[in-house]
Amino acid sequence: MSDKRWTYKQITDNAEAQIRSVIERASGRPDLEYLYREHARGIYEMWFTLCSGWIETTDIERLRALTDIPRPETANRS
């Protein structure tokens, strides 16, 4: 087993780059936009799980905005 280690910043920067890449691929492709957006949300969910406990407010807001994930207080409540 290797002793690789990543910092919060490295994980966050990589997640943001991957989300931006996926969203960019969806641009101009309405037939695939839903699929790519869900892929981006999957990247966000993995980041959120890995970094839970260390997440900075500015990072979570930025990544949510990239994936169109609503803030909890603005989410549709039934």
| Whether pLDDT at 61 is above 90 | yes
Query: What mean pLDDT is predicted for residues 16-34?
Result: 90
For 31-56, the pLDDT digits (tens) are 888 899 899 999 999 999 999 999 99
Q: In the chain, where are the structural domains located?
A: 8-68
Q: Is the dihedral of CA 73, 54, 57, 43 positive or negative?
A: negative
- What pLDDT is stored for residue 75 in this prediction? 47
| Dihedral, 51, 2, 19, 7 alpha carbons, nearest 10 | 40
Query: In the structure, what pLDDT confidence band is assigned to residue 29 with cuts at 50, 70 and 90?
Result: confident
Identify the pLDDT of residue 68: 81
